[in-house]
Amino acid sequence: MSTWPLADLVPHAGEMILLDSIEHVEGERIVCVKTVQSDGLFVDADGSLPAWVGVELMAQSIAAWAGCHAREVHEPVQLGFLLGTRQYVCNVEAFPLGTRLLVEAERSFHDEHGMGVFTCHIDAPGIHAEARLTVYRPRNADAFFEQIAGEATHV
């Protein structure tokens, strides 16, 4: 499978794209790269990246995976939602400045309504984080938002 620039794959813009690149994508799995830099978004004063940002790195890896699959069949990248995570665990409080993180996501479940579950890992020497993320991608994001807006006015 070919890869494209991350900006063409995820529905984020500018510095909100936290990942640096895609290392590998195939089938149900993607591996992305993030090198912690002192000028990055969410970075602490010492240049480290708080471990809680790992959930967003995992979510963006899933978005990149979905974007690759969409591009492969010449479809537009669609908006998706992170619904939640189960048991995010990380053996460090922060990812140190200069650390090259490998962020892996592998789809373990999906249904015809757009729900999916991914098993995710972040690894670097001496660092390991893992979680299961539940995501949702509506078939038509505009119709989905219109429906939500209509329901909100009837409350």
Res. 108: pLDDT tops 70:
yes
Quote the mean pLDDT of the chain: 89
- Those residues with Cβ within 8 angstroms of residue 107's Cβ, 6 or more apart along the chain or in another chain: 28, 29, 65, 116, 117, 118
Cα–chain center distance at 51: 15
**Domains of the chain, first to last:** 6-153 (3.10.129.10)
Work out the pLDDT band at 142, boundaries 50, 70, 90.
low
Res. 144: pLDDT tops 60:
no
Burial class (CB in 10 A: 0-12, 13-18, 19+), 133: buried
Q: Report the pLDDT value the prediction gives residue 4, as an integer from 0 to 100.
A: 81
Query: Could you give the percent of the chain with pLDDT greater than 70?
Result: 88
Burial class (CB in 10 A: 0-12, 13-18, 19+), 143: exposed
pTM for the model:
0.88
Res. 145: pLDDT tops 60:
no
Res. 100: pLDDT tops 60:
yes
Query: Among 13-22, 35-44, 121-130, which range has the highest average pLDDT?
Result: 121-130
As a whole number of angstroms, the longest Cα–Cα distance in the chain is 52
pLDDT digits (tens, 9 = 90+) for 39-94: 989 999 999 999 999 999 999 999 999 999 999 999 888 888 999 998 999 999 99
